[in-house]
């Protein structure tokens, strides 16, 4: 059988860093509250930068670190819930931005699970023999859809983009399990899109992101271990055979709860949400990129990637690291 493999990683975050103390100067919150409830210390916020702009930067970054030329890329999938506009899609803007003239391009919205959903599509294209090489990007400007006067949500999120190249050949992306529960749609939703947020006047009218934080917490603490166990069972692996668990970076307490349920040490669950907050579909590829850059991932090591988010949606993959 043809296998699909991640062969390069890249990322981009906007320059503007906003710390918890910065937020505490403009709203009734504190570094202590945010850190103790979430683990977040700061986040990057796009100022004058759009989702497509960040997606292009992450795409250029991954390309420069890969052995591929832009024209070798056959498809581009951008996972995003915060596109700049309805069409053209963000992936077409990436194609234009990096000169990937032979790629077909589309966006995929599965909220914070978007990167894993997109990875599963890319894996399917390659394993079926339809295509040999593609790019998957997670890119978000969540800062445009949160109400900056609503302290219970705005402190949690950040902007950024992460990208991977997926190619045919070698051991790589193993079993994946995806799921959704549309009944849970109300617990995390945003009726208006970032498209409507161009100016102050329209921002006043938009329906910002709403979240029942405790319900989302319970959902993630229950569903993430279940989907990871489903992947491990498909692979015939025990939890201790996994080198690192790369989870969607929403809340350190959720990650710790998953670690406890898996009876695995927290050291195997890398965290970077202290510096980026929850970047939705970008969080897993940004974390993967950082871990790869620092040499934390060893070739041949087995990883679990797992995400969850609005929809409700979730997904997990076993990835054998082999760059
Ligand atoms: N700063 C200070 N106080 C805040 C605050 C902030 N930023 N946000 C909320 N509070 C207050 C609330 O008003 C409430 O005050 P009250 O008791 O006087 O009414 C108190 O803190 C507790 O609020 P609560 O919502 O019960 O806190 P919590 O312990 O459930 O933590 C979350 C809130 C959002 C951090 C937590 O529920 C969570 O992380 N959920 C998961 C969210 C998530 O991961 N979403 C993304 C999924 S992809």
What is the C-alpha to C-alpha distance for residues 205 and 184, in angstroms, rounded to an integer?
A: 25
Indicate which residues carry an active-site annotation: 112, 248, 278
Q: Is the CB of 104 under 6 A from ligand 1?
A: no
Cβ partners under 8 Å of residue 311, min gap 6: 110, 111, 113, 180, 181, 182, 184, 185, 188
How open is the CA angle 261-271-49, to the nearest 5 degrees? Answer: 135
pTM of the entire structure?
A: 0.96
d(CA 178, CA 127): 17
pLDDT above 60 for 2: yes
Question: In 3D, which of 212, 193, 205 has the Cα closest to residue 85?
Answer: 193
Angle CA(79)–CA(222)–CA(36) in degrees, nearest 5? Answer: 80
| Tens-digit pLDDT profile for residues 246-279 | 999 999 999 999 999 999 999 999 999 999 999 9
The structure tokens listed for 224 are: 């993430």
Sign of CA dihedral 108, 296, 15, 309: positive
Question: Ligand 1 in contact with 29 (CB < 6 A)?
Answer: yes
Judge whether 94 and 107 are in contact, CB under 8 Å.
no
pLDDT in tens, 200-242: 666 666 778 999 999 999 999 999 999 999 999 999 999 999 9
- Tens of pLDDT, residues 11-38: 999 999 999 999 999 999 999 999 999 9
Best of 37, 185, 216 for a ligand 1 pocket test (most atoms within 8 Å of beta carbon):
37
Ligand 1 atom nearest 253 alpha carbon: 39
The CA-atom distances, in angstroms, between 134 and each of 95, 111, 198, 284 are: 11, 21, 31, 18
pLDDT in tens, 132-168: 999 999 999 999 999 899 999 999 999 999 999 999 9
- Reduced to 3 states (helix: H, G, I; strand: E, B; else coil), residue 10 is strand
Residues 6+ apart with CB under 8 A from 102: 71, 72, 73, 74
Place of tokens 């989907």: 227
Give the SS3 label for residue 60.
helix
Q: CB of 148 closer than 6 A to ligand 1?
A: no
Instruction: Output the pLDDT for position 206.
Output: 73
Do the Cβ atoms of 220 and 307 come closer than 8 Å? Answer: no
Provide the b/e sequence for 55-74 (b: ≥16 CB within 10 Å): bbbbbbbbbebbebebebbb
């Amino acid at each position: 059988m043809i296998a699909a493999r991640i062969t390069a990683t890249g990322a981009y975050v906007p320059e503007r860093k906003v710390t918890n103390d910065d937020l505490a100067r403009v709203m009734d919150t504190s570094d202590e509250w945010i850190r103790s409830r979430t683990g977040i210390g700061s986040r990057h916020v796009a100022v004058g930068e759009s989702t497509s702009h960040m997606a292009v930067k992450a795409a250029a970054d991954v390309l420069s670190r890969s052995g591929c030329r832009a024209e070798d890329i056959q498809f581009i999938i951008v996972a995003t819930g915060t596109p700049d506009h309805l069409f053209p899609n963000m992936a077409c803007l990436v194609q234009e931005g990096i000169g990937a003239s032979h790629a077909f391009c589309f966006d995929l919205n599965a909220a914070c699970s978007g990167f894993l959903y997109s990875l599963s599509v890319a894996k399917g294209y390659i394993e079926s023999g339809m295509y040999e090489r593609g790019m998957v990007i997670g890119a978000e400007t969540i800062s445009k859809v949160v109400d900056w006067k609503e302290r219970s949500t705005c402190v949690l999120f950040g902007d950024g983009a992460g990208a991977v190249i997926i190619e045919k050949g070698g051991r790589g992306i193993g079993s994946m399990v995806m799921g959704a529960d549309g009944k849970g749609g109300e617990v995390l939703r945003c009726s208006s899109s970032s498209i409507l947020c161009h100016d102050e006047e329209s921002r006043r009218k938009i329906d910002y992101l709403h979240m029942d934080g405790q319900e989302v917490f319970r959902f993630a603490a229950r569903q993430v271990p279940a989907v990871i166990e489903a992947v491990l069972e498909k692979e015939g692996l025990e939890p201790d055979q996994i080198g690192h668990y790369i989870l969607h970076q929403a809340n350190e307490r959720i990650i710790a709860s998953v670690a406890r349920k898996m009876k695995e040490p927290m050291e195997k669950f890398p965290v970077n949400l202290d510096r980026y907050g929850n970047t939705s579909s970008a969080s897993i590829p940004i974390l993967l990129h950082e871990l790869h850059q620092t040499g934390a991932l060893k070739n041949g090591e087995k990883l679990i990637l797992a995400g969850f988010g609005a929809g409700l949606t979730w997904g997990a993959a076993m990835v054998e690291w082999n760059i």
